[in-house]
Each structure stands twice: as structure tokens, then as C-alpha cells.
Amino acid sequence: MEFLGGRQASSEACPSPVKRGKYQLLSFHYLAILPALVTTIVIIVIPLLYSLILSLYRYILTDPYNIRFIALGNYYQAFHNPSFINSIKVTFIYAFVALGVEFILGMAAAVMVNNVIRGQGLVRTAMLVPMFMTPAVAALIWRFMLHPDLGIVNYFTRLLGCGTPVWLGNPTLALISVVFIDIWRNTPFMFLVFLAGMQSLPSELYEAAAVDGASSRQMFWRVTLPLLKPLILVALIIRGMDIFREFDTIFVATGGGPGYATETISLATYRYSFRNYDIGVASAVSYIIFVIVFLLSLVFVNKMQQIQNE
């Protein structure tokens, strides 16, 4: 009995080769992800925590000896500033109009190209050209094209007898212009995603629908669109998160002007930090952007899970 007990104790103290191999494999996995984990912590987590701390302090670069803890004072100051409230309104108008039009145009272009038999590669390449441009370059090109005296757009408006609108100098036209630039540059992304999704759908479903006498419109609404719902939500999440952080296109095209007509939350953050040197309020505004994007993403992700569970 003692011998058996000794064997049992020794077997518990010394794990089997299978268990040792499992532990070594787990250790290797943890070591493999360690560089990525450390990089994520250094690049993302630490700056997020530091900016959260800064958002709770009065911290103005031109007055570095008067840093003090004010709790939620920066958030209170931001939400009681009319220009910041206007930037929230401009951001939502910009985001929802641009995202809605990009979705409609991208879907329409994908449907048309998907039905084309010849020249599909050439059409795809031409559609993707705007997406290859960096946002600053695209905004600079359109800034020249929308110039009231030298721009090619006003050349055609003069031919049509519509005068020479000041596209980037009028508050309403400036907002329409920057939304149009975003639509022109990012519709190809929606087109590419939807076209790839359509071409991956099984052809048997369309053959069965054709046998049942379904028209092309019925196939789109009853077959294509339901099957593309998860992909549509993924595309909307990606573009939605990106569009709420849009900065370079608007900054190069209008600088947020005229006045505050095209100033989004991202440009308001830039103004607070690099023009007013108010790091505390800028950090608070950055966290407001983070919360807005996080909540919208949460809504889209929950909707996608509901679709997948149906």
C-alpha cells in the first residue's frame, strides 16, 4: 500500500509527457503573442489612459505652472461651448449623409457591374482609382477644381448659366462639397465589398429563383440583399468608425470653415489642442469621440449578431 501510495504521489508530482507537452505548447503560445500584446499596451492602452487622466485636469500649454485637477470640468466646458455642439451636429450630418449615399451608390454600382459579362475588370479598376488617392491629395485636387474663378466646376456652371458659386466659401455649399468629396473617394470601398459579396453567393439560389419565375428585382430583394446583410453591416461599421474620425479631407479642403460650418469633432479636437493649446479640453473631446464611435459600433455589432442568430 505504501508502495502504491508512493507511486501515486510520485506520479502526481511528475506530470506525464502529454501534460508537459501541453504546458510547453501553451507557454510557446503566450510567448508568441507577447510582442503584439506589449506593442498594443504601449501604443494604444497607455495613451488612452494618459489622455483620460489629462481630460480630468486643467492643462493649458501656455500656462504650464497652473495644472490642477478639475474632475469633469473639461467635459462641462466642452458641452457648454456652442462651437463644440455645432461640431457634433456637423459630424452627424456629414457622417449619415455621406454613409447613406456611399451605401446606395456602392450597392447600385456593384449590382450593375456584377451583371456585366465583358469589361468587368476595366470597370472595377476605374471605380477604384479614387480610393487609391490619399485623403489630403484628393481634397487638394477638389479644392482646385472647386475654385470660384479657376476651377473646372465653375467653368461648367458658367456654361449652364448658373453663375460662379463659391463652393468652399458658403457655409451650406462648403458642407455639401466636403460630403461630396468623401462620397467620391469612399464609394469605391462600398462597391468593392458588395461586389465581392455578390460574386461569392451560390448561383444555385438564383437558378432556383429563376425557375420559380422571380424577376431580377425580386431576386435582389429576396435573395441578394438578405444574404448580404452581415457583409453590409461590416462595411457600415468600418466606414462609420472611419467617417466619425474624418480629419484630413476636411482640414485640407476647408480647414473647418467658413467659420465653423464644416468643423467636425476631430477638427474641434485639433483646434483645442494645436490652436488654443488646451490639452485638457482636447483630451475630453477625444474621449467623447471614442464613446460615440464605441456606442455606434456596439449597436451595429449587436444587430449583426441578431442577423446571424436568425
Task: Show me where the domains of the chain are located.
Answer: 2-54, 77-309
Residue 200 has pLDDT above 60, yes or no: yes
| Angle at which helices 46-54 and 279-309 cross, to 10° | 130
Give domain 77-309's CATH number out of 1.10.3720.10, 1.20.1250.20, 1.10.10.10, 1.10.1530.10: 1.10.3720.10
Residue 8 has pLDDT above 70, yes or no: no
Q: What is the mean pLDDT of residues 132-156?
A: 89
Cell of 125: 479598376
Residue 1 has pLDDT above 50, yes or no: no
Query: How far, in Å, are 18, 25, 32 from residue 29 at the CA level?
Result: 17, 6, 5
Q: 167 with 148: CB under 8 angstroms?
A: yes
- Which H/E stretch holds residue 121? helix 120-132
Residue 171 has pLDDT above 50, yes or no: yes
Alpha carbon 294 to its chain centroid, in Å, reads: 11
Q: 98 with 242: CB under 8 angstroms?
A: no
Residue 296 has pLDDT above 80, yes or no: yes
Where does residue 230 rank: exposed (0-12), middle (13-18), buried (19+ CB within 10 A)?
middle
Residue 57 has pLDDT above 80, yes or no: yes
Alpha carbon 306 to its chain centroid, in Å, reads: 22
pLDDT tens-digit readout, 67-121: 888 888 899 988 998 989 999 999 999 999 999 999 999 999 998 888 876 667 7
Average pLDDT, the chain: 84
pLDDT tens-digit readout, 16-55: 555 555 556 567 677 778 888 888 888 888 888 888 898 8
Looking up cell 474641434 gives 268
Q: What is the mean pLDDT of residues 167-173?
A: 90
In the three-class reduction of DSSP (H, G, I as helix; E, B as strand; rest coil), residue 150 is classed as coil
DSSP code at position 222: I
Say how many CA atoms lie within 13 Å of 174 toward its Cβ: 21
pLDDT band at 143 (very low <50, low <70, confident <90, very high): very high
Q: What is the mean pLDDT of residues 220-235?
A: 87
| Angle at which helices 279-309 and 225-244 cross, to 10° | 170
Residue among 119, 121, 100, 104 at smallest CA distance from 191? 104
Residue 177 has pLDDT above 70, yes or no: yes
pLDDT band at 310 (very low <50, low <70, confident <90, very high): low
Residue among 116, 115, 95, 127 at smallest CA distance from 193? 127
CA–CA distance, 175 with 146 (Å, rounded to integer): 13
